[in-house]
């Protein structure tokens, strides 16, 4: 809440999810949508990663070494369980 970031669960079966390897979607640094099938342990890890991404992302390069540039305002976080 302090960062102004909203975290939601993705709609289970209600809307399309990008693909099976996407664990979370971070939009414009303000909204996080978590994949509905995440277990509790993985959900916690993915949410922590998504919060960090949301806090440091922007649409334009800032020159800061920790900044994430997302020109379209969207960052997808992959599910670590999906490996080649």
User: What is the DSSP track for the chain?
Assistant: -TT--EEEEPPTTTS--S-TTEEEEEETTTEEEE-TT--HHHHHHHHHHHHHHHHHEESS----TT-EE-TTSEEEEE-TT---
Q: What is the pLDDT of residues 6-42, one digit of tens each?
A: 999 886 555 678 888 899 999 998 999 999 888 888 9
- Inside any domain, residue 83: no
The domain of 65 spans 6-78
Question: 61 lies in a domain?
Answer: yes
**What value does the mean pLDDT of the chain take?**
86
Q: Tokens 């342990």 appear where?
A: 41
The model carries a pTM of 0.82
DSSP single-letter state for residue 24: E
Residue 49 placed within a domain: yes
In a domain, 84, yes or no: no
In a domain, 11, yes or no: yes
The answer to whether residue 55 sits within a structural domain is yes
Whether 79 and 23 have beta carbons less than 8 Å apart is answered as yes
């Amino acid at each position: 809440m302090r960062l102004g970031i909203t975290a939601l669960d993705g709609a289970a079966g209600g809307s399309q999810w990008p693909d099976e390897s996407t664990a979370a979607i971070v939009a414009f640094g303000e909204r996080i949508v978590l994949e509905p099938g995440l277990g509790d342990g993985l959900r916690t890890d993915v949410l922590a990663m998504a919060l960090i991404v949301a806090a440091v992302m922007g649409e334009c390069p800032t020159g800061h070494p920790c900044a994430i540039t997302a020109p379209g305002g969207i960052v997808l976080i992959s599910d670590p369980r999906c490996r080649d």
